[in-house]
Structure 1
Amino acid sequence: MKRIRTTLLSVFSLLLVNGCASQSQWLYPPMAIPLQVSAKKEVQIAQLTQLIQRKNLDDQVRAKMLYERGSFYDSVGLRLLARLDFDQSLALDPAQSDVYNLLGVNFTEEQQYDDAYEAFDSAIELNPDNLFAIRNRAIALYYGGRYELALEDLKKLTKDGEVDPFISLWRYIIEYEIDPTLAKKQLTEKYDARKPGWGWFLVGLMLDKVSNEEALKAIVTTSADNVVLAERLTETYFYIAKRYQLNGDLKSAYTLYKIVLSSNVYDYIEHKYAYIELDRIKKEAAQLQQQAASVEKVN
């Protein structure tokens, strides 16, 4: 096995890679310093809290401030406080598509899928062009096991021949549950016709066109600062973990999803949904153990 080190900072230990080109064995995966709440964000939350308490505020102004504070709460991982603010904001002004979208993501994180669908439906009804709500509803439908409906939503996001790498990734993940061979064929075609960009780099990882070693070495050596490093590693580890998971390597996937959470990049959907993936792996592993125990008992 060969140890790979980078020069970005001594705090970043790299991985060990065995002699086999198709698999990497992780010992010290590169990690960023976990992101902390900035003083600026804390001040903004405090200021909004003071303003919201004023009695002479117009309902729409108060609704806007609650939405903004809820967004800040969400960005630092305080989901319950965020949901309370979103609920209060909608009670004052129910015609807010963006608030319903964030509320839907919040419900998805909690695996309350029916509530999530209802929130996304409201967001899209208020603003049919809310592409984030359409994408997020597709992901919620995927996690809720409604793959065909999820694909219908993602197909709405591809217009005039444009191909978005992140939409392509999620379409692959969803379609893999229906027809793995077709899913890989379609994603490979999109990757082969790609334009340069970070998103397609992640697609290459998913397809094994880019190795884990190449990807992580490039990220650690080119990230301008710790924030960029944390954000890129959050995305990278999530999709590597998803690839392992789809290939049946639950142990490796489980480890990487935990690393995703360690970054504290709460704004990214990859961080938000890593919790769901961990729970799904736990349940799948428990089922496999039960099946193995049943087979052993019969024998």
Structure 2
Amino acid sequence: MKWFRTAAVSAFLLVTAGCASTSSSDQSEQWVYPPMAVPLQASVQQEVQIARLTQLLQRTDLNDEVRAKMYYERGNYYDSVGLRDLARLDFNQSLSLNPAQPDIFNLLGVYFTQVGEFDAAYEAFDSTLELDPANSYAERNRAIALYYGDRNELAFEDMTKHFEEDPSDPFRALWLYIIQSELDPVQAKADLLSRYEERNEEWGWVLVALTLDQIDEEQAFKAILTGTRDNTLLAQRLTEVYFYLGKRYQSEGDFASAVSLYKLALASNVFEYVEHRYSFLELSRIYNEVKAEQVAKAKQQAEQEQAKSE
């Protein structure tokens, strides 16, 4: 990545720089620092709603239906500001009062996926789809959980069905490509290119273009920075860009760039986006993979040294 190499950022340091560029002797521009948005913070409205619901939940005259709804609403507010453990507690409280809530099972499935509890995630998504068979979010999230749980054949089956329901959705195309790449990377790229050629004007196709190297990173970032004046939208789009770029570099074996990108995806505090949620999981996967490689290498060296001494 041009702008990472220029800045000479270490693979395992958190990048916190702002957006800047410099001109070389041939007047071509290069990124010195990665583009950043101001990290999102809890709004006054979110804080007031959490306080209000907390106060209302102390009342003793609420029936179970109303109390379950309040727990669900407060859980959503907790989730939106990154307080996921508190959100999970509220969602469980809500389910204990009213078990027939597919949206809560879907959110719990995402939480289980984040922490690697894949069997619990599958059960949660299955519960959502039993209660609401048309829930497309649970369908996609189950496919992603199967992918992270290394059940790629099932993940591909789920995501293919999900994609075929709306082939114009660039995010469905991206996740289908990510999963299919684990099975047949050459065919996956060819299929994604074919879908990209039939693209519409949705923003997400820019992410597909980056994945396919149809545009370079400077073009993408300049388009975002010149066309996005709202900081919240800027934070959301940068979170998406950094996550999917991280996936691309990770698939190429460039763990240094991937780690930096996942950390950048986390930096804007877009807690509700799956790209933010799964960046933690991707960092853990890279750490575990690198650690396993180092252990295997150390074991091999020890065996070689022992063989020489015999």
How far apart, in 2, do the equivalents of 1:145 and 1:73 lie? Answer: 30
Identity of aligned residues (%): 55
Q: Does 1:13 pair with 2:25?
A: no
Deviates more, 1:285-294 or 1:253-262: 285-294
1:220 to 217, 225, 236: 225
Structure 1 length-normalised TM: 0.90
**Alignment partner, residue 131 of structure 2:** 126
Determine the C-alpha separation between the residues in 1 that align with 2:157 and 2:150: 14
TM (norm. structure 2) is 0.87
2: CA distance, partners of 1:39 / 1:59: 28
Unaligned runs of 5+ in 1: 5-10
The answer to whether structure 1 residue 90 and structure 2 residue 95 are counterparts is yes
Are 1:34 and 2:39 counterparts?
A: yes
Runs of 4+ displaced beyond 6 Å: 1-4, 16-19
Residue 239 of structure 2 aligns with which residue?
Answer: 234
Tell me if 1:54 matches 2:59.
Answer: yes
**Is 1:261 aligned with 2:261?**
no
Report the CA distance between 1:162 and its aligned residue: 3.2
1:196 alignment partner AA:
E
Quote the RMSD (CA, aligned, Å).
Answer: 2.3
Deviation (angstroms), 1:144: 0.7
Count how many residue pairs are aligned between Structure 1 and Structure 2. 289
Verify: 1:271 aligned to 2:276, yes or no: yes
Note the C-alpha offset of 1:219: 0.9
Deviation string 1:251-288 (CA, Å, 9 cap, x unpaired) is: 10001101111110001000000000000010111122
1:130-145 equivalences under 5 Å are: 130-145=135-150
Q: Unaligned 5+ residue runs, structure 2?
A: 8-16, 306-310
1:13 corresponds to which letter in structure 2? C
Instruction: State the shift of 1:176 in Å.
Output: 0.6
Contact 2:68 2:97 in 1 (8 A): yes
| Counterpart pick for 1:169 among 171, 174, 194 | 174
Higher relative contact order (CA 8 A, sep 6+): 2
Q: Name which of 204, 210, 216 aligns with 1:205.
A: 210
Quote how far apart the aligned CAs of 1:159 are: 4.0
- Please state how far the C-alpha of 1:179 moved relative to its aligned partner: 0.7
Relative to 1, partners in 2 of residues 1:168 and 1:26: Cα closer, same or farther, differing over 3 Å?
same
Contact 2:167 2:173 in 1 (8 A): no
Counterpart amino acid of residue 260 in structure 2: T
Contact 1:17–1:213 (8 Å) recurs in 2? no
Q: Which deviates the most, 140-149 or 158-167? A: 158-167
* Residues 1:249 and 2:258 are matched in the alignment: no
Q: Could you say which structure has the larger radius of gyration?
A: 2
- Counterpart residue identity of residue 102, structure 1: L
1:15–1:120 CA distance, 2 compared to 1 (3 A): farther
Distance in structure 1 (CA, Å) of the matches to 2:134 and 2:210: 30
Q: Which amino acid aligns with 1:116?
A: A
Query: Is the contact between residue 98 and residue 123 of structure 1 (CA under 8 Å) also seen in structure 2?
Result: yes
227-236 vs 286-295, which moves further: 286-295
Could you tell me whether the CA contact under 8 Å between 2:225 and 2:234 is conserved in 1?
yes
Alignment partner, residue 8 of structure 1: none
Structure 2 counterpart of 1:270, which letter?
E
1:25: Cα distance to partner?
A: 8.8
- Offset from partner CA, 1:6-52 (integer Å, 9 cap, x none): xxxxx942367999xxxx99741111111110011000111111112
Which one of the candidate residues 187, 196, 204 is aligned to 1:182?
Answer: 187
Displacement of 1:160 in angstroms is: 6.0
Question: Which amino acid in the other structure matches residue 157 of structure 2?
Answer: E
Matching residue's letter, 1:88: Q
Question: Aligned partners of 2:23, 2:153: CA distance in 1, in Å?
Answer: 38
